[in-house]
Amino acid sequence: MNIKSFPIKDWLQHNTIINVSGTMTALGASMVPEEIRQCVDESLGCFVDMDALQAKASSTIAKSTGAEAGCITASVASGICISLAATMTGPDLGLVEDLPDTGKVSKNEVVILKGHVVNYGSNINQKIHLVGATPIEVGTVTVAEPYQLRHAITEKTCSGLWVVSHHTVQSGLLNLQTFIKVCHEKNVPVIVDAASEYDLKVFIDMGVDIVLYSGHKFLSGPTSGIVAGETALIKSAYMHQSNGIGRAMKAGKESVVGAIAALQRWEIIDHKTLHELEYKNLTQIWKGLSKIPGLCLEELPDPTGNPITRLKVSIDSTVSCLEIGELCKALYQGNPTIVVRDHHLDLGFFEIDPCNMKPGDPETIIRRFQELQSLIEKNSPKSGMTGVLGPRFSNYDTKGIPIVDTDNVAWTYDRKGDREETLKCWPESYLTQ
């Protein structure tokens, strides 16, 4: 049988994109290297004892993270569910089978900072509700103090959940060390969602009880979630994976084998050389885009400490009044499709992330921006905005009173899209090939 005749292969060739957004699940997260694909391919042609395979995964996870044990699940979202469930039931298989019914469970409250209640495709609180637990949000969006965490913890608290993400509030909250200290003083285990984090050992070293990593982001494996932590909790989590609520989130042999291979590869790849190449590609793009009038360029470090430098792209208001979202849209709709990191369009910029670029991508990206130069230039600066008072999001009315420039401020920004409406149009709107 010739797989070249399979229509899906032609579809892939015509629908691939240049990803400078990062390790985004919505874009397939990462490109799986050949050496990992070979391991996955080997698994697809044989039968294995899944418990034995997960035991192998446990030893590999322990070596890579410094944890006592681990297991593989379908995703980090799945890992959150089975980890929370483990803190609710322990190794009681009867309770495991009861969830999400918590009628016989004594502890079913999860403390989480209000500033960590984010959406990464779905609301993280939904994962807490999914296992029958109740989220107890600590503090306000921008302020969380140790005393507020202590007050939130009761005899019904089963665990504390901490989210490491660029989506979370990055200031005004208590730090992870304090969160761990307060929870442990109350004998409450701490679970850390580190899906997009590069350092596989830092959280266990800090004393967290369970840490969750994505197997398909920086690790470049197939879709999977890596659960690492204390043996007793991991055993309970695995019970939920195999016999409880996590059964609906189980990972197949190919995902477990792929995650193991990804972890083993992680130990031997030359990370420094990899990052040097990423930065070289980013510098090439910067030099190319710097020749285009109307663009403002700036290097940005990763806010959670990953070893990534990104390129911040915004519009120079003295040259053009093009809305940054329109530039983002034009890149997406062009040929080839280029997807940028658009989390901060409402703040007037997007980013270019180098970690998933292929050979030739920098040149293509520069060419696509050059093709859009006329779009940038045709927009003249807005009247009333001079250089005398510096850049600002305000104008003056006819009486000279300052007024808000509602085309630019974050709180009026319209992304011009509704996820619900997009889903209502699926799949018809995507079947263009």
Cβ neighbours of 25 (radius 10 Å): 18
Q: How far apart are CA 172 and CA 126, in angstroms?
A: 25
Q: Alpha helices of 90-230 — where are they, by DSSP H?
A: 93-98, 124-130, 146-152, 176-185, 202-206
Nearest by Cα to 60 from 189, 269, 200, 196: 200
Task: Name 270's Cβ contacts closer than 8 Å, sequence gap at least 6.
Answer: none
Task: Name 61's Cβ contacts closer than 8 Å, sequence gap at least 6.
Answer: 67, 69, 70, 71, 72, 226, 227, 228, 263
Task: Name 392's Cβ contacts closer than 8 Å, sequence gap at least 6.
Answer: 385, 405
Report how many helices (DSSP H) and strands (DSSP E) the chain contains, helices first: 16, 14
Give the pLDDT confidence of 288-298 residue by residue, as tens digits: 999 998 899 99
Using DSSP's 3-state secondary structure scheme, residue 87 falls into helix
Measure CA 100 to chain center.
26
The one-letter amino acid at 255: S
Mean pLDDT calculated for residue range 210-238: 95
Q: Alpha helices of 49-99 — where are they, by DSSP H?
A: 50-65, 76-89, 93-98
- Which of 5-14, 135-144, 222-231, 358-367 has the lowest average pLDDT? 5-14
Q: Residue 374 is encoded by which pair of tokens?
A: 């006329």
Q: How far apart are CA 55 and CA 98, in angstroms?
A: 25
* Domains of the chain: residue spans and CATH: 31-266 (3.40.640.10), 271-386+404-430 (3.90.1150.180)
Task: Name 13's Cβ contacts closer than 8 Å, sequence gap at least 6.
Answer: none
What distances in angstroms separate CA 222 from CA 31, 72, 74, 284, one per listed residue? 9, 11, 10, 30
pLDDT (0 to 100) of residue 129: 96
The one-letter amino acid at 297: L
pLDDT at 380 over 90: no
Give the pLDDT confidence of 137-165 residue by residue, as tens digits: 999 998 899 999 999 999 999 999 999 88
Residue 139: burial class (beta carbons within 10 Å; 0-12, 13-18, 19+) = buried
Measure CA 177 to chain center.
22
Give the pLDDT confidence of 322-347 residue by residue, as tens digits: 888 889 999 998 888 999 998 888 88
